[in-house]
Amino acid sequence: MALSGFFSRLKEGLSRSTQKLSSGITAVFTKRKLDDAALDELEELLIGADLGPAAAKRVIAAFRRTRFGDDVTDEEIKTALATEITTILDPVAKPLVIDRGHAPHVVLVVGVNGTGKTTTIGKFAQFYREQGFRPMLVAGDTFRAAAVEQLQIWGERTGAPVVSGKPETDAAGLAFTALERAKREGIDLLLIDTAGRLHNKTALMDELAKIIRVIRKLDPTAPHSVLLVLDATTGQNALNQVEVFQDLVNVDGLIVTKLDGSARGGVVVALAEEFGLPVHAVGVGEQAGDLRPFIAAEFARGLVGANV
């Protein structure tokens, strides 16, 4: 899909956040000029659009320093707002770089159930195959039988081999076997799926720790990327999920999914402000081609409803 197509998709998805913000901005600034009361209202609008208090405050502080003329239009305000939001997002907009030198680069994909881990792995397989890499998928969510099947379908769809075991197989053992095989077969990229929900947090922590411990027997530098998948539609809850998973594992980067749906895209700004973790890619649909690099300026413009 062309970038413009992706952007309109993202814009569509962001429409819930956008509409509220965009009409809010228009309402605030058709009434009066950019005085303190108007800025306070704008700050509230930003918080209401999931940007979080810290990012909203930062944007407004920058706005206060800017000398807008009395005849500033709401369109100019939106453009300026997009520029400030871009400043927050730019440092985290980093694609996932796969290092062939690791042979393979091991990616552990984690997140609560239903956020889009398995789908994201399928999309990654497609994306990196198109870039000339050889990915292999590991059905490390051995907790649910359907999860294995789901990953196998992604394997068929993308032409990537899938390593799986019987239900209830030990996930760490499976990851070990997969890494051995990947090394033998000259795979560049090993994508390990994990269970989103185990019996409790301790069980999940033990499971992830064991996977990491075991694959390190074959490659002490693995995993090379631990990616946390977040569902944008959960809004502020995504922030709690980062905290929970940072307690469990060393999270290297984020993937934010479901930005096509009734997304609450503002949360990406809150995530950037609070954690500064790289946002490698965003999900804008359920198909193989629906994973896109995260581009700060376009995202910011889509969020506030500024014209491109």
Ligand X SMILES: Nc1nc2c(ncn2[C@@H]2O[C@H](COP(=O)(O)OP(=O)(O)OP(=O)(O)O)[C@@H](O)[C@H]2O)c(=O)[nH]1
Q: Is 116 in the site for ligand X (CB under 6 A)?
A: yes
When the beta carbons of 139 and 259 are compared against Mg ion, the nearer one is 139
CB-CB contact of 22 with 269 (8 Å) = no
Q: How far is the CB of 294 from ligand X (least distance, A)?
A: 13
Given 4, 66, 73, 113, the residue binding ligand X (CB under 6 A): 113
Q: Which stretch binds ligand X (CB under 6 A): 100-108, 168-176, 252-260, 266-274?
A: 252-260
When the beta carbons of 227 and 306 are compared against ligand X, the nearer one is 227
Given 24, 111, 265, 266, the residue binding ligand X (CB under 6 A): 111
Q: How far is the CB of 173 from Mg ion (least distance, A)?
A: 19
Walk across the sheet containing 189-192 and list its strands: 162-163, 135-138, 189-192, 105-110, 225-231, 253-257, 279-283, 291-293
Residue 116's binding partner among ligand X, Mg ion, none (Cβ under 5 to 8 angstroms by kind) is ligand X
Given 50, 74, 84, 141, the residue binding ligand X (CB under 6 A): 141
3-state secondary structure of 212: helix
- Residues with Cβ within 8 Å of residue 51, at least 6 apart in sequence: 59, 85, 266, 267, 269, 270, 273
> What character string, x for contact with ligand X (CB under 6 A) and - otherwise, covers 278-307?
-----xxxx---x-----------------
Residue 22's binding partner among ligand X, Mg ion, none (Cβ under 5 to 8 angstroms by kind) is none
Residues 26-44: b if buried by 16+ CB within 10 A, e if exposed? bebbeeeebeeebbebbbe
Q: Is 257 in the site for ligand X (CB under 6 A)?
A: yes
Q: How far is the CB of 224 from ligand X (least distance, A)?
A: 21
Q: For residue 225, give Cα distances in angstroms to 5, 35, 46, 95, 233.
A: 29, 46, 32, 12, 24
Measured from the Cβ of residue 149, the count of other Cβ atoms closer than 10 Å reads 11
Measured from the Cβ of residue 57, the count of other Cβ atoms closer than 10 Å reads 15
When the beta carbons of 81 and 256 are compared against ligand X, the nearer one is 256
CB-CB contact of 229 with 281 (8 Å) = no
Residues in region 85-114 near Mg ion by CB under 5 A: none
169: nearest Cα among 199, 139, 192, 190: 139
Handedness of CA 113, 115, 119, 123 (dihedral sign): negative
Q: Tell me the two tokens of residue 38.
A: 């108007």
Given 118, 120, 158, 225, the residue binding Mg ion (CB under 5 A): 118
Residues in region 142-181 near ligand X by CB under 6 A: 147
Q: Which stretch binds Mg ion (CB under 5 A): 93-101, 116-124, 157-165, 240-248?
A: 116-124
Q: Is 104 in the site for ligand X (CB under 6 A)?
A: no
When the beta carbons of 59 and 263 are compared against ligand X, the nearer one is 263
When the beta carbons of 25 and 226 are compared against ligand X, the nearer one is 226
Burial of 168 (0-12, 13-18, 19+ CB in 10 A): exposed
- Any idea which residue has 């795979």 for tokens? 187
Q: How far is the CB of 234 from ligand X (least distance, A)?
A: 12
Residues near ligand X (CB under 6 A) are 111, 113-119, 141, 147, 196, 229, 257-258, 260-261, 283-286, 290
Residues near Mg ion (CB under 5 A) are 117-118, 147
